[in-house]
């Protein structure tokens, strides 16, 4: 996944799908203010975290685990070290980033999956970089068109486009219906779950050796972030 001053792009290589969001006038104005040294909350770290939330909203139902004892593990590949830390620690001083992290956690609970992030080098993120910058560069647009040939674009519907509004609706719904239940699960003496791990980063399904420290059964869907 990657973000620029014009928009963002997230790739799902295992399914050969991608999503792109072009920032609207208000968002681009906030970005200009940030770039000029203004005290806005819409810096690059926040924009890249938005990519993870859009991915969870659009693909979360596909990651859903039907077994209550097993949560699907989705691993995001991000080339921004700060965003990796925000995601894995679920902590940020940025108020808008805090909202995004809460929204991400809500999707995890709803669909029974768990997201973690790992850092990848920018040189491995060319396609997503092109996708996030295609609106400002004809050359980037052409390169992205070439790289995404055979891929399918997943459209972000209008009701999910503005994440602060999504959070407000979700909060009201959750409070009124009280449908979310947080459960504490009891494991054996080791605390480990005897479940397989799978790697679909390159579109193939391959069994992985058991993780040494993490006990989650997981599906590693790396969203390659360019630039």
What proportion of the chain, given as a percentage, has pLDDT over 70?
75
Quote the pLDDT of residue 194.
Answer: 33
Cβ proximity of 148 and 158 under 8 Å: no
Average pLDDT over residues 1-15: 95
Higher pLDDT, residue 137 or 92: 137
Residue 57: domain span: 2-171
How high is the pLDDT of residue 201?
41
Q: What is the pLDDT of residue 40?
A: 79
- How big is the CA angle at 208 (ends 124 and 113), to the nearest 5 degrees? 80
User: Does 96 reside within a domain?
Assistant: yes
Is the pLDDT at 69 greater than 50? The verdict is yes
| The 3-state secondary structure of 4-30, one letter per residue | CCCEEEEEECCCCEEEEEECCHHHHHH
pLDDT band at 174 (very low <50, low <70, confident <90, very high): low
Name the residue among 51, 43, 48 with its Cα closest to residue 18.
Answer: 51
- For residues 47 and 5, is the Cβ–Cβ distance under 8 A? no
Digit-coded pLDDT (tens) for 182-224: 333 333 333 443 333 334 343 333 333 433 333 233 333 433 3
119 found inside a domain: yes
Cα separation of 227 and 223, whole Å?
Answer: 13
**Between 159 and 80, the higher pLDDT residue:** 159
Query: With 80 as the cut, is the pLDDT of residue 22 above it?
Result: yes
Residue 128 lies in a domain: yes
| pLDDT value, residue 18 | 98
pLDDT at 29 over 90: yes
Domain membership of residue 8 (yes or no) is yes
Least confident of 61-65, 79-83, 187-191: 187-191
Q: Which of 72-81, 100-109, 187-196 has the lowest mean pLDDT?
A: 187-196
Q: What is the rounded CA–CA span in Å between residue 85 and residue 41? A: 17
Q: How confident is the model at residue 55 (pLDDT cuts 50, 70, 90)?
A: very high
Domain assignment of residue 226, yes or no: no
Rounded CA separation 135/145 (Å): 12
State the Cα–Cα distance between residues 45 and 83, nearest whole angstrom: 6
Count structural domains, the chain: 1
Q: Is residue 202 part of a domain?
A: no
Identify any residues that bridge with 73 across adjacent strands, giving them in sequence order. Answer: 114
Q: Is 197 within the bounds of a domain?
A: no
* Domain assignment present for 218: no
Confidence band for 99, pLDDT divided at 50, 70 and 90: very high
CATH number for the domain that contains residue 64: 3.30.420
Question: Could you tell me which of 184, 217, 208 has the C-alpha nearest to residue 67?
Answer: 217
Q: Mean of the per-residue pLDDT values for the chain?
A: 80
- Span 119-154, pLDDT tens digits: 988 888 999 999 999 999 999 999 999 999 999 999
């Amino acid at each position: 996944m990657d973000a620029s001053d014009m928009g963002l792009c997230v790739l799902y290589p295992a399914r050969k799908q991608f999503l792109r969001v072009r920032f609207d006038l208000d968002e681009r104005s906030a970005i200009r203010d940030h770039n000029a040294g203004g005290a806005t909350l819409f810096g690059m770290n926040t924009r890249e975290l938005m990519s993870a939330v859009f991915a969870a909203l659009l693909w979360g139902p596909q990651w859903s685990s039907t077994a209550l004892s097993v949560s699907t593990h989705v691993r995001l590949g991000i080339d921004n070290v700060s965003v990796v830390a925000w995601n894995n620690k679920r902590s940020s001083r940025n108020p808008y980033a805090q909202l995004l992290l809460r929204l991400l956690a809500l999707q995890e609970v709803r669909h029974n999956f768990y997201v973690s992030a790992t850092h990848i080098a920018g040189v491995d993120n060319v396609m997503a970089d092109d996708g996030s910058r295609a609106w400002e560069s004809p050359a980037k647009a052409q390169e992205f068109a070439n790289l995404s040939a055979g891929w399918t674009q997943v459209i972000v519907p209008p009701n999910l486009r503005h994440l602060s509004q999504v959070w407000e609706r979700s909060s009201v719904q959750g409070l009124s219906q009280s449908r979310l239940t947080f459960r504490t699960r009891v494991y054996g003496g080791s605390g480990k779950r005897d479940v397989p791990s799978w790697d679909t980063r390159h579109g193939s399904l391959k069994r992985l050796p058991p993780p040494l420290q993490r006990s989650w059964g997981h599906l590693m869907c790396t969203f390659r972030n360019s630039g």
